[in-house]
Amino acid sequence: MVTVEERYEHLEKTIRGYNISADLGQIRAAYEYAREHHGEQMRRDGSPYITHPLQVAQIVAEMRLDSESIIAALLHDCIEDTDCCYEDIAKRFGVTVADVVDGVTKLTRVKYSTMEEEQMENLRKMLFAMSRDIRVILIKIADRLHNMRTMEYQTPAKQKKKSFETMEIYAPIAHRLGLAKIKWELEDLSLKYLDPVAYEDIRQKLAAGSAQHGKFMSHIQEEINARLAEEGIPHATVYGRMKHPYSIYRKMYLQEKTMEELYDLFAFRVLVDTVPDCYNVLGVIHDIYKPILGRFKDYIATPKPNMYQSLHTTVIGEEGIPFEVQIRTYDMHAIAEYGVAAHWKYKQGIRGESGEASYEWIRRLLENQEDTDAEEFISSLKVDLFADEVFVFTPRGDVVNLPAGATPIDFAYSIHSAIGNTMVGAKVNGRMVGYDYQLHNGDVVEINTSKAAHGPSRDWMTIAKSSEARSKIRQWFKRERREENIARGRASFESELKHVGLNLSQVTAPDVLSSILKRVSFQSLDEMYAAIGYGGYTALKAVNRVRDELLQMSRAAALEKAAQEAAAAKAAQEAAKQPSLPRKVKSEKGIVVEGLSNCLVKFSKCCTPVPGDEITGFITRGYGVSVHRKDCPNADPARNAADQGRWIKVSWGEDVYESYSTSLEVVAKDRNNLLMDISAALSTCKVSVSNLNVHATADGFAIFHLTISVADSKQLEQVMRKIQQISSVMKVNRPAG
């Protein structure tokens, strides 16, 4: 019997073997702490409980993990199985160790019920996501390995259940992390309980043939050794092994063959110092034995996604027995056996594309890990993958994968839209929560439904994180609330229209409605309103399209009009050749420009003329005719002699606009309510104001600048008189120049 203390000594020795700076003081403290707290607890095999954490720590040390991992491994069952707590561990061994122990405890508490195949990948992802720190999952794997090694003391039901979990969840995770040795041990141990008959059959056949196999293997080993020595390849280690039972089992099953028909039960390994040596060894092997075509694989040039590197070839010896040879460097071997954890010496870049995106994170992590030491490397291996996903359980134990930040609403709709639509409450881990509760990895979520439920509310749309939930909620509103949607949609459409200065009657006018509906792709306005109402279409989008369409139509109309006018103008020109007839003139903006038809006209900003004012025109360079009041200083022809020829006669036509924009300046003694009085005066004159600003002078005067719309100079005079009558107003004038 190995004593507990001897086991501990062995652990220390293993640690010293790879980590000279390990904190052995703290490690011993952790060992003693765990031993004390587990006290009289026993394993099922009758050994003291402390042997379990010790053996788990031993496996963790064989993975060559850092001191904190060893300490956490020793303490890994303390929170779950003894009276000590997170705070206690944090105080004695630091927050990092406590976090790792806590993480392992959380993984231990995950309940796996029988699951469908497609659930497994989600569950593996969830374990990763819950781990945060890669050490958590590595310790959990070590824990599981030791439990599997001691599984014979459990009940048959528990053996089956644990073996199934191990095969489906832990072995694939070990594989993903490149822990080949642990992976196959987990698989073999699981097979032993999952298919005891087949396992026993394979084991017995291997045992029965072992003398013969041993002879064969040592013969091959000697042959290879001799040739390598001859060729002068230094430091080569050659050894043979049988394929492990699960890999034989899988091959028998997949290839539907008996064990005797399988042809690579034997595998040899050649370990050398350098990559060139690997290829030299390959040449030597192919020289001694006949290679089987199509069985050579170069994982050195193209490493496997879990960083595995090796040359594989299958050859046939004199006896006609085929066997596999794996050739790799010692460094590559360490990675193959211990996985990513053994990686800190690995400096070669990873070449080649695997196409297996699920491993991408390991590569990403490793790319940043070139010159760090073991301790640093391990602690920086934070598992940040799946940061944008969250994994939760249904009450039945199915795993549901949702976007990070998901709420019970997302969960409900991911199960079925009927669940979401009849939801009246949600429980997480047995406690009622609000609909906006953010789900965490591993939460068990239960949705309460009722036939009398009112259905989703509109704010669920903003609470839900998944587009799936949002679109299902929209669907519901679309179906269930048509009348309400139409009213809502119409209201927001109208208010959006108002923003761009349109009103509904412009849209519903019979001559435009059909092309507008075509533009927004709806059969009727009600349908468009309904879509806006349930959120399938936005009012803004609708209005933009409507406005575009109206603009396009008015442009088309303008073109049409211009074409007609051009024709009319041509006719007029013809007519003008007859001098006796009065000359026909066209006006633009109510202005007739002598001798020019259809020319661009604008009103000058300096004097803002209105109908009734005496006006004159100035032919600008490129912008048509600018119209000034005759009394505007800028209209004084004497002002710029060079431009004298540009002045042209203009007059008000008969087809003037309804209103013209013009400016006024009001000077007043400042007082309370002055602005209000001016506004009142403007509104009694029914004049609209488009701009108003006030400038208060230091000596107590206020100068107002107004821009108003009037029909003509008569109305303007009226307005000016009205303002003039207001008390304290001193002067009202039309600015010019």
Active-site residue list: 80-81
The smaller minimum CB distance to Mn ion, of residues 34 and 445, is found at 34
Q: What part of residues 134-173 is at the interface with Mn ion (CB under 5 A)?
A: 143
Report the nearest approach of Mn ion to the CB of residue 111 (Å). Answer: 16
Reduced to 3 states (helix: H, G, I; strand: E, B; else coil), residue 326 is strand
Rounded Cα distance between 195 and 164, Å, is 11
Binding-residue pattern over the window 442 to 461 for Mn ion, x denoting contact by CB under 5 A: --------------------
* Residue whose structure tokens are 């903006």: 589
- How far CA 113 is from CA of 142, 293, 508, in Å, comes to 22, 45, 61
* Residue whose structure tokens are 């790799």: 328
Reduced to 3 states (helix: H, G, I; strand: E, B; else coil), residue 733 is strand
Report the nearest approach of Mn ion to the CB of residue 209 (Å). Answer: 37
Q: How many CB atoms lie within 10 A of CB 638?
A: 6
Report the nearest approach of Mn ion to the CB of residue 260 (Å). Answer: 40
The smaller minimum CB distance to Mn ion, of residues 173 and 539, is found at 173
The smaller minimum CB distance to Mn ion, of residues 143 and 410, is found at 143
Find out whether 412 and 424 touch, Cβ atoms under 8 Å. no
The smaller minimum CB distance to Mn ion, of residues 79 and 708, is found at 79
Report the nearest approach of Mn ion to the CB of residue 77 (Å). Answer: 5
Rounded Cα distance between 708 and 664, Å, is 8
Report the nearest approach of Mn ion to the CB of residue 16 (Å). Answer: 25
CA 329 from chain centre, in angstroms, equals 40
Nearest to 159 by CA among 191, 121, 111, 127: 191
The smaller minimum CB distance to Mn ion, of residues 68 and 143, is found at 143
Residue with nearest beta carbon to Mn ion: 143
- Name the token pair of 80: 């779950």
Nearest to 719 by CA among 676, 680, 690, 693: 680
Instruction: Compute the Cα dihedral for 416, 420, 424, 430 and give only its sign.
Output: positive
Report the nearest approach of Mn ion to the CB of residue 369 (Å). Answer: 29
* # residues near Mn ion by CB under 5 A: 2
Return the residue of 77, 277, 410, 496 that touches Mn ion, per CB under 5 A. Answer: 77
* Residue whose structure tokens are 């392992």: 104
Spatial CB neighbours of 680, under 8 Å, sequence gap ≥ 6 = none
Report the nearest approach of Mn ion to the CB of residue 76 (Å). Answer: 6
CA 552 from chain centre, in angstroms, equals 40
Binding-residue pattern over the window 85 to 124 for Mn ion, x denoting contact by CB under 5 A: ----------------------------------------
* Residue whose structure tokens are 């394979």: 202
The smaller minimum CB distance to Mn ion, of residues 149 and 639, is found at 149
- Bridge partners of 392, per DSSP, are 400
188 near Mn ion (CB under 5 A): no
Report the nearest approach of Mn ion to the CB of residue 378 (Å). Answer: 20
Amino acid occupying residue 296: F
The smaller minimum CB distance to Mn ion, of residues 143 and 677, is found at 143
Spatial CB neighbours of 272, under 8 Å, sequence gap ≥ 6 = 233, 234, 235, 236, 237, 278, 281, 327, 328, 329, 330
Binding-residue pattern over the window 688 to 717 for Mn ion, x denoting contact by CB under 5 A: ------------------------------
The smaller minimum CB distance to Mn ion, of residues 52 and 470, is found at 52
Spatial CB neighbours of 407, under 8 Å, sequence gap ≥ 6 = 435, 436, 437, 438, 439, 463, 464, 465
- C-alpha torsion 624→628→633→634, nearest 10: -10
Contact residues for Mn ion, defined by CB under 5 A: 77, 143
